[in-house]
């Protein structure tokens, strides 16, 4: 892939990151906020992979994004366990309704 396409990839990653940020800020459902975080992590991975192509001997970017993926999977598992526990307690997962510390 020639450098101009790599630049295109960087723009796509920037757009994905911005959309993920908008999802995290505007949505009220906790699971959708989690999806926005996944989108942002994917955008970062795309950036790392786009640069890693020009570093074929060490592939630092690809290995870093592999670790990012694994941490994202662990984070998603823990976050969804928390969301299910919050739902059991409050009977809702809409973040604006979760205003009580004690109920």
Partner 1 sequence: MLQIAFFAFIILTLIGALTVLITRNVLYSAYALLLTLLGVAALFVFAGADFLAVSQIIIYVGGVLVLVLFGVMLTSKPTTSDTSTVVASERPNAILAGSRGLWLGVLLAGGLFFGLSRLLLNAHFVLFDQPISNAPTTIDTIGKQLMTEYIVPFEIISILLLVALVGAGYLAKKSIKL
Contacts (CB under 8 A) with partner 1, residues 41-80: 42, 45-46, 49-59, 62-63, 65-67, 69-78, 80
Q: What is the DSSP letter of 62?
A: H
State the minimum distance, in angstroms, from the CB of residue 45 to partner 1.
Answer: 7
Task: Output phi, psi for 57, to 5 deg.
Answer: -80, -35
Q: Is 101 a residue that touches partner 1 (CB under 8 A)? A: no
* Subset of residues 7 to 26 that bind partner 1, contact rule: CB under 8 A: 7-12, 14-23, 25-26
The three-class DSSP label of residue 20 is helix
As given in the structure block, the two tokens for residue 80 are: 């969804």
């Amino acid at each position: 892939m020639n450098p101009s396409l790599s630049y295109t990839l960087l723009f796509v990653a920037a757009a994905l990151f911005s959309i993920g940020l908008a999802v995290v800020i505007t949505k009220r459902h906790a699971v959708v906020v989690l999806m926005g975080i996944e989108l942002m992590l994917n955008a970062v991975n795309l950036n790392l992979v786009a640069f890693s192509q020009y570093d074929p001997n060490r592939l630092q970017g690809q290995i870093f994004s592999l670790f990012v993926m694994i941490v994202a999977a662990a984070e998603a598992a823990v976050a969804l366990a928390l969301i299910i526990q919050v739902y059991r307690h409050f009977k809702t997962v809409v973040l604006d309704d979760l205003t009580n510390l004690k109920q």
